[in-house]
Chain A
Amino acid sequence: MGTIYIDGKASEADPKQNLLHACLSLGLNLPYFCWHPAMGSVGACRQCAVKQFKDAQDTRGRLVMACMTPAAPDTRISLQDPEAVAFRAGIIEGMMLNHPHDCPVCDEGGECHLQDMTVMTGHDYRRSRFPKRTFHDQYLGPFVYHQMNRCIQCYRCVRFYRNYAGEDDLNAFGISNEVFFGREQDGVLKSEFAGNLVEVCPTGVFTDRTLRRHYTRKWDLRMAPSICGHCSLGCNTTMGERYGLLRRVVNRFNSEVNGYFLCDRGRYGYEFVNSEQRIRAAQINGAPTSVTEAKRRLSSLVAGGQQLIGIGSPRASIESNYALRRLVGKDRFFCGVSDGEWERTRAMVEILQAGPARSASLRDVELSDAVLILGEDVTNSAPRMALSVRQSLRQQSFETTQKLRVPLWMDDAVREIAQAKRSPLFIAAAGATRLDDVATATYKAAPEDIARLGFAVAHEIDAKAPEVPDLSGEMRELAATIATALTGAKHPLVIAGPSCRSISVIESAANVARALCDNGHSAALSLIAPACNSFGLALLGARPMSEALAAVQDHGDATLIVLENDLYRQLPAKLVDGYLAKAAHLIVLDQLGNGTTAKAELLLPAGTFAESDGTLVSNEGRAQRFFQVFVPEDGIKESWRWLGDQSWSSLDDVLSEIGTEIPRLASVIGAAPLSSFRIAGAKIPREPHRYSGRTSITANISVVEPKPPDDPDSSLSYSMEGASIQPPAALQPFFWAPGWNSIQAVNKFQSEIGEALRGGVPGVRLFETSTGGGYFDGIPNPFTRRTQEWLLLPIEHIFGSEELSAHASSIAELVTEPYLALNPADAAGFLAEGKPTVVEVAFGGLKQRVPLKVLAELPSGLAGIPAGLTALCGEELPAWCRIERAS
């Protein structure tokens, strides 16, 4: 840290940063547009001009752009200098020449960075009387709404989209004051991170298209901190509700996890909460019933003397799973996923617990400088991680940058220096991945061969690691290249996961990480979990499903309780049919109707993330709490409330009981402050102080203004009353600060810009490095293709493969049709001339007709079907299948 002088006042500043960063970190208000904490400076908007003085004697000074000037020690600047103030107002005036001033009809109004900055500079009068330029607006897909006239040409969108997210179909066109930001022609944006444009754009050019359908101003939203449940990464989100309808999701900054960005599945998946498939009332044998009746039936079934069998869920919170486990007894609590998935999930948890590699947070991923991905298309299985991997590719080029003494925030210069130089990224997968374009080398192979490559890399790094027999020369060479790249890096990272449905792939990744750590490299390991709380469920402990079948059979009159789990997606349909037929009674708790709920004797409406509190354990092993946004209509409750003990009065009770019962989850209670937490004796309001219409919202029902609901489970209140000053980060319901209405108000809550929130990093890490375990030696035999059979593998899709988000109407528009994919050579035998071909896939006595799709990168001998999108999604894969052309 050095000392800089701002308007004569000495302040501490990081000399590695620029003056804008320093000023904002100090809590000063300096307007800016093109600079973004995650994307650095490019000097386009000239908005952050300040006066810089040579020394204490210099009184004239000169204008510099704060974002382009290092905060070197002894720098003397003035923000209040009249010339600087006037220049900044002049810049806003320039931007406003063509801005339509249509705030009342603009979705950004009320949370617009341009509005905030305009007010900040004091520009309030339009002197220009010339007409404004207009543009054509484009259709950009179901997520992002385009209104180009509002553009102030700060270039943030293309910088995010092209440089940061690495996609190329959004660009700047034209010159002078007619620069157009959009696609070459109308069409769906290709990037899986396009939704971030909504937050990156400082004004209303890119707005949330789903919010438009049920528009509400930010100040009118009741908001709560939440955790995204649409994959295992546990990105932090803010959910907003009004009038009982979930309106939107925005990013909630977490320096260790998602930073400033979300993926589109996480941002737009929320609409399933409002879906018509929602179960809103309890049902007995399909007929709606009252809460009282449902409760009565539940207790009579539970107390009915039959054997209780509980089936948990990897997408339900720890609390809900625990409540079920407690109700049915730990020996009769089953995991709810296939034996294969359970084995892989438990293996991943054991690997991460045993160490020695650190379980990587997304920030660790971003800071790693050599990455090996085994068996995953992360963009589709854990989307936000792909964005972090892309950033990691810049790490090695930073060395050159630093040698040339160019600061890392000088974004364009840094990218110029880097050119095409990228940190090594190796991807071994059973098909094309969305990161192939930036990979140093890719290896397309069957799961067995991917695992063998992993084992071979581990052996290359550490001779003590088991050697792979019968390794081809080509593969040995690739393994050696990868090993060299990983050992040559400062922070190597290995990523693997369950997409290949192969435990060997996961074990081989563990071996690589162990080999690196044992040889003195500070390697990290990131294992992607199948669902948002798979690791939480594994830590809680449950018995495998195959034993559940035996239990059901043993007790012909068992009462089955299924928690937030569509068994038809987890297990083969035949098997599920068997279970359900055998059970005397079936109780199902879920949010959306599905195959399992259709068979329920007693169906209980479970709260979604928006309507319940709970804790999820992310793939990093970070336990994070999500909070209820609103109190739903009577009937919908958290599953743990339905199933829980009468003595539990709040979430704290559940958590403290979990802590006592299951010591390895004892720290989970610390994921967020207890419900008794208060700021100056007050709760933290979920509503902004501008929240309007409070007295009239229910006036059509009763003119008496109702008392806001109590929230026994958290220290958040359901009203605008309370203390909202710097709440603990895990309880931050939304970001707002005086003069900062946009999401960039997060600046005011960070310890330093871009760094951890002042209220701490939300969540607690459950996996810390230790030195247990040893090398795995279950090296599989090489894959050998069969002549008339194909190895059927699931292919993950960001849109559609996840159960809940697929019900969001915007995401549903982008869900792919079911298909069977074959490599071109394999497909040749089935293709009819110039016609779409439909084939029949047969395995294990099942048959399914699907259109044939040719996938160039799919290895020969493999067949792929989209995960979660066909009737086959519950079958245990990989499996050998036969394919015939359907007549």
Chain B
Amino acid sequence: MSIVENIAGLAKGMGVTLREMVQPTEVENYPDGPGPERGAHFQDRFRGAHVLQRDENGLEKCVACFLCAAACPANCIYIEAAENTAEVRISSSERYAKVYNIDYNRCIFCGYCVEACPTDAITHGHGFELASLDATTMIYRKEDMLAPLPEKKLPETAGATV
């Protein structure tokens, strides 16, 4: 019985190998490939430069809870919190991050900040072209990391003549 099982197992494994053998070979054509990543291809789980996300209303998801900074083993996240007011509303909660800096000289891309984030505000994007000859340019500010505002759809009737 076990011999049959072993053979079946081997056959299954070899089947994968054989199937892959006949697949066409893919070569990343970076940096001359198409798309914004110029041919580079990433798995979803790739931990690249951080992106600070916005919610569906365009408000920043970050509520300045400081958990990412606390989780960061490299101590490279700097946050200053400020309160949202009726006039100035940046996030949907009580506070928002007035300043949010990551020092990429020190970031080790461990993903702990993303794990810690209770609002899914900080995520790893796929940005990887972070190399620089000048260390001082490696401090990314909130504005450098923030996801773009969703394009506002104008109501259909806007501008229509009556």
Q: 11 A-B Cβ contacts within 8 A?
A: A104-B119, A213-B83, A217-B70, A219-B70, A693-B69, A693-B72, A693-B76, A696-B103, A699-B76, A699-B105, A703-B136
Chain A residues near B106 (CB-CB < 8 A): 695-696
Name B residues whose Cβ lies closer than 8 Å to a Cβ of A: 63-67, 69-70, 72, 74-81, 83, 93-95, 101-103, 105-106, 118-119, 135-136, 138-139
Q: Among B78, B80, B83, B105, which residue has the most Cβ atoms of chain A within 10 A?
A: B78
Q: Among B65, B77, B93, B118, which residue has the most Cβ atoms of chain A within 10 A?
A: B65
Alpha-carbon distance between A214 and B138 when the two chains are bound, in angstroms: 27
Q: Which of A241-293 contact B (CB under 8 A)?
A: 243
Residue on A nearest B69 in the bound complex, by CB:
A692
Residue on B nearest A692 in the bound complex, by CB:
B69
Within the complex, what minimum Cβ distance (angstroms) separates A147 from chain B?
A: 9
CB-CB under 8 A for A699 and B72, given A104-B67, A217-B66: no
The residue that A215 contacts in the complex, of B78, B95, B138, with Cβ under 8 A, is: B95
Chain B residues near A110 (CB-CB < 8 A): 66, 70
Within the complex, what minimum Cβ distance (angstroms) separates B94 from chain A?
A: 5
Known: A105-B93, A703-B103. 14 other contacts (CB 8 A): A103-B118, A104-B67, A104-B119, A217-B70, A219-B70, A692-B70, A693-B75, A695-B74, A695-B75, A696-B76, A696-B102, A697-B78, A700-B78, A700-B101
Chain B residues near A243 (CB-CB < 8 A): 80
Q: Which of A75-123 contact B (CB under 8 A)?
A: 103-105, 109-110
Alpha-carbon distance between A104 and B67 when the two chains are bound, in angstroms: 8
Flag whether A216 is at the interface (Cβ < 8 A): yes
The tally of residues in A whose CB lies under 8 Å from a CB in B reads 25
Within the complex, what minimum Cβ distance (angstroms) separates A418 from chain B?
A: 42
Residue on A nearest B72 in the bound complex, by CB:
A692
Whether the Cβ atoms of A215 and B75 lie closer than 8 Å is no
Chain A residues near B79 (CB-CB < 8 A): 693
Within the complex, what minimum Cβ distance (angstroms) separates A756 from chain B?
A: 33
Name A residues whose Cβ lies closer than 8 Å to a Cβ of B: 103-105, 109-110, 212-217, 219-220, 243, 690, 692-697, 699-700, 702-703
Chain B residues near A104 (CB-CB < 8 A): 63, 65, 67, 118-119
Within the complex, what minimum Cβ distance (angstroms) separates B132 from chain A?
A: 11
Within the complex, what minimum Cβ distance (angstroms) separates B92 from chain A?
A: 10
Within the complex, what minimum Cβ distance (angstroms) separates A271 from chain B?
A: 16
Alpha-carbon distance between A260 and B138 when the two chains are bound, in angstroms: 46
Chain B residues near A692 (CB-CB < 8 A): 66, 69-70, 72, 75, 77
The residue that A699 contacts in the complex, of B64, B83, B103, with Cβ under 8 A, is: B103
CB-CB under 8 A for A105 and B65, given A695-B76, A697-B78: yes
Residue on A nearest B94 in the bound complex, by CB:
A105
Chain B residues near A693 (CB-CB < 8 A): 69, 72, 75-79
Alpha-carbon distance between A220 and B72 when the two chains are bound, in angstroms: 13
Chain B residues near A700 (CB-CB < 8 A): 78, 101, 139
Whether the Cβ atoms of A215 and B81 lie closer than 8 Å is yes
Chain B residues near A213 (CB-CB < 8 A): 83
CB-CB under 8 A for A696 and B78, given A104-B67, A105-B65: yes
Residue on B nearest A698 in the bound complex, by CB:
B78
Residue on A nearest B67 in the bound complex, by CB:
A104
Within the complex, what minimum Cβ distance (angstroms) separates A793 from chain B?
A: 42
Within the complex, what minimum Cβ distance (angstroms) separates A125 from chain B?
A: 17
Alpha-carbon distance between A694 and B101 when the two chains are bound, in angstroms: 12
Alpha-carbon distance between A703 and B63 when the two chains are bound, in angstroms: 26
Residue on A nearest B77 in the bound complex, by CB:
A693
Chain A residues near B75 (CB-CB < 8 A): 692-696
Within the complex, what minimum Cβ distance (angstroms) separates B59 from chain A?
A: 14
CB-CB under 8 A for A695 and B83, given A220-B66, A700-B139: no
Residue on A nearest B74 in the bound complex, by CB:
A695
Q: Among A103, A214, A700, which residue has the most Cβ atoms of chain B within 10 A?
A: A700
Residue on A nearest B135 in the bound complex, by CB:
A703
Chain B residues near A696 (CB-CB < 8 A): 75-78, 101-103, 106, 139
Residue on A nearest B137 in the bound complex, by CB:
A703
Alpha-carbon distance between A215 and B96 when the two chains are bound, in angstroms: 11
Chain A residues near B83 (CB-CB < 8 A): 212-213, 215
Within the complex, what minimum Cβ distance (angstroms) separates A274 from chain B?
A: 14
Within the complex, what minimum Cβ distance (angstroms) separates A169 from chain B?
A: 26
Residue on B nearest A695 in the bound complex, by CB:
B75
Alpha-carbon distance between A214 and B99 when the two chains are bound, in angstroms: 13
Alpha-carbon distance between A216 and B95 when the two chains are bound, in angstroms: 11
Within the complex, what minimum Cβ distance (angstroms) separates B83 from chain A?
A: 6
Alpha-carbon distance between A827 and B93 when the two chains are bound, in angstroms: 52
Chain B residues near A216 (CB-CB < 8 A): 66, 81
Q: Among A214, A220, A690, A699, which residue has the most Cβ atoms of chain B within 10 A?
A: A699
Within the complex, what minimum Cβ distance (angstroms) separates A482 from chain B?
A: 52
Q: Among A104, A214, A694, which residue has the most Cβ atoms of chain B within 10 A?
A: A104
Whether the Cβ atoms of A699 and B101 lie closer than 8 Å is yes
Chain A residues near B101 (CB-CB < 8 A): 696, 699-700
Alpha-carbon distance between A693 and B81 when the two chains are bound, in angstroms: 14
The list of the 4 closest CB pairs from A to B, nearest first, reads: A104-B65, A692-B69, A696-B78, A694-B75
CB-CB under 8 A for A690 and B70, given A105-B94, A695-B103, A696-B106: yes
Chain B residues near A699 (CB-CB < 8 A): 76, 78, 101, 103, 105, 139
Within the complex, what minimum Cβ distance (angstroms) separates B148 from chain A?
A: 24
Within the complex, what minimum Cβ distance (angstroms) separates B23 from chain A?
A: 44
Alpha-carbon distance between A494 and B139 when the two chains are bound, in angstroms: 62
Whether the Cβ atoms of A703 and B138 lie closer than 8 Å is yes
Alpha-carbon distance between A796 and B96 when the two chains are bound, in angstroms: 41
Within the complex, what minimum Cβ distance (angstroms) separates A871 from chain B?
A: 36
Residue on B nearest A700 in the bound complex, by CB:
B139
Within the complex, what minimum Cβ distance (angstroms) separates A145 from chain B?
A: 10
Within the complex, what minimum Cβ distance (angstroms) separates A220 from chain B?
A: 6
Within the complex, what minimum Cβ distance (angstroms) separates B40 from chain A?
A: 27
Within the complex, what minimum Cβ distance (angstroms) separates B90 from chain A?
A: 13
Chain A residues near B72 (CB-CB < 8 A): 692-693
Residue on B nearest A215 in the bound complex, by CB:
B81
Chain A residues near B69 (CB-CB < 8 A): 220, 692-693
Alpha-carbon distance between A130 and B58 when the two chains are bound, in angstroms: 30
CB-CB under 8 A for A105 and B95, given A693-B77, A695-B103: yes
The residue that B65 contacts in the complex, of A109, A694, A702, with Cβ under 8 A, is: A109
Alpha-carbon distance between A471 and B64 when the two chains are bound, in angstroms: 68
Chain B residues near A690 (CB-CB < 8 A): 70
Chain B residues near A702 (CB-CB < 8 A): 136
Chain A residues near B119 (CB-CB < 8 A): 104
Within the complex, what minimum Cβ distance (angstroms) separates A101 from chain B?
A: 9
Residue on B nearest A702 in the bound complex, by CB:
B136
The residue that A703 contacts in the complex, of B67, B80, B139, with Cβ under 8 A, is: B139
Chain A residues near B81 (CB-CB < 8 A): 214-216
Alpha-carbon distance between A703 and B64 when the two chains are bound, in angstroms: 23
Chain A residues near B139 (CB-CB < 8 A): 696, 699-700, 703
Chain B residues near A703 (CB-CB < 8 A): 103, 105, 135-136, 138-139
Alpha-carbon distance between A483 and B70 when the two chains are bound, in angstroms: 61
Alpha-carbon distance between A800 and B130 when the two chains are bound, in angstroms: 55
Within the complex, what minimum Cβ distance (angstroms) separates B141 from chain A?
A: 8
Alpha-carbon distance between A104 and B121 when the two chains are bound, in angstroms: 12
